[in-house]
Amino acid sequence: MRVLILGIDGYLGWALALRLVRRGHEVVGIDNLYTRKAVAEVGSDSALPILSMQDRIKAVEEAFGARIEFIEGDATNYYLIRKAMDKHRPDAVVHFAEQRSAPYSMIDIEHAKHTVINNLTSTLNVIYAIKELKRDVHVLKMGTLGEYGYPAFRIPEDAFIDAVIQGIRDKIVVPRWAGSWYHWSKVFDSYMLLYANKLWGLTITDFHQGPVYGTRTTDIVSEELFTRFDVDDVWGTVINRFCAEAVINHPLTIYGSGLQKKGFTSLEDTITALAALIENPPEPGEFRTVHHYREIKTLNEMAELIRRVAKQILGYEPEIMHLPNPRVEPEEDLLYEPEKRVLPKLGIYRLTRVMEDEVVMMLKDLKPHADRVKRIEALFRPRVKWRD
């Protein structure tokens, strides 16, 4: 298959590109290198060193004898997206090219606007390019489980649920309640995609997943192939940040009570699921919602697990420190187990590695780069607050 990855330079985009070329697919990628600049803007850097896009491509050629086509450009430029789709005629477009940090979106009006405009415009461009070129392309859009919030019912995986509206039984879209401007942009993305599907019959997978953690996939066979790994207060997701804190014996910083529950998935399992969804597209004209998470844990459970593994790998147990939660989010009595049916049907719902083994690997990968982590140590405390 030929796959166009929007956001190929990112944490997931690069790891997916490696998996797809190793599975014999042709990969074309677009990226405006925005995350590199935005991470630098908050004074941070990837904790693992990453090569420039040109050097990454050379490293892939050397490692796997495969060529990735890269276009440096902005997904909010409609003509760029349309031209790339027309020229390369992909079977699938994977859309990762969004501003993906909730804290970044909450900094101020400029960052909120950037998030909403960047994310919605890029999604609209993909929709219109397919509609205007009249192409049969599977759009795999990366959303988030955070679109739903924490409703008092089990979140169904279907985009629609049965409901009684004004006395009439009908189908309504699953209600959503996001917790940041970033998450709201994902909600609007989902609605726009659903509308494009109803209106023009676009074939869509709306993929909702919780936080991803991990330094490696089985394709990252050398440090030259590392994908980015962010650990600061703005860009780092929680397990990645805890592991970075552990390697420099910094306290593991839990925001709030630590009773918040999330559905975590390793980078390896995320990439396996994405590749399976690309290789098993929905029926033409179908809108397929997919939920993905492997282990539901509280932040306290995660911190304890990382402390245990740190003792075994690093020889010490970092402290655990609770800081006031900068976010506005529910912390207790959470009913949380979103339904998942599509991926188990594809037969790929096994855990590749238990969380504990994954964390062992992460600490081993990070240890030689402890000096890079040390440089951003001051950024572990949250600077962006949802309310003053």
Ligand X SMILES: NC(=O)c1ccc[n+]([C@@H]2O[C@H](COP(=O)([O-])OP(=O)(O)OC[C@H]3O[C@@H](n4cnc5c(N)ncnc54)[C@H](O)[C@@H]3O)[C@@H](O)[C@H]2O)c1
Give me the residues that bind ligand X (CB under 6 A), please. 7, 9-13, 30-35, 74-76, 96-98, 100, 118, 122, 142, 144, 209, 211-212, 228, 237
Residue showing the smallest CB distance to ligand X in the complex: 10
Helices (H), the chain: 11-22, 34-41, 53-64, 78-88, 102-105, 109-133, 181-200, 238-247, 267-279, 299-314, 342-345, 355-366, 370-375
Task: Please give the positions annotated as active site.
Answer: 144, 182, 186
Q: How far is the CB of 375 from ligand X (least distance, A)?
A: 19
The encoded tokens of residue 343 equal: 């991926």
Q: How far is the CB of 212 from ligand X (least distance, A)?
A: 4
Q: How far is the CB of 218 from ligand X (least distance, A)?
A: 18
Q: How far is the CB of 71 from ligand X (least distance, A)?
A: 9
Contact indicator for 227, 5 with CB cutoff of 8 Å = no
Q: How far is the CB of 13 from ligand X (least distance, A)?
A: 5
Q: How far is the CB of 213 from ligand X (least distance, A)?
A: 8
Contact indicator for 13, 34 with CB cutoff of 8 Å = no
Burial of residue 235 (number of CB atoms within 10 Å: 0-12, 13-18, 19+): buried
The C-alpha atoms of residue 260 and residue 331 are separated, in whole angstroms, by 5
Contact indicator for 111, 20 with CB cutoff of 8 Å = no
**Closest residue by Cα to residue 92 from 36, 16, 143, 144:** 16
**Closest residue by Cα to residue 232 from 334, 382, 125, 351:** 382
The C-alpha atoms of residue 285 and residue 211 are separated, in whole angstroms, by 29
- Give the nearer residue to ligand X in terms of CB position, either 123 or 203: 123
- Close Cβ partners of 179 (under 8 Å, ≥ 6 residues apart): 102, 146, 149, 327, 328, 329
- Close Cβ partners of 316 (under 8 Å, ≥ 6 residues apart): 249, 310
The C-alpha atoms of residue 113 and residue 117 are separated, in whole angstroms, by 6
Strand, helix or coil for residue 71: strand
- Give the nearer residue to ligand X in terms of CB position, either 317 or 329: 329
Contact indicator for 281, 372 with CB cutoff of 8 Å = no
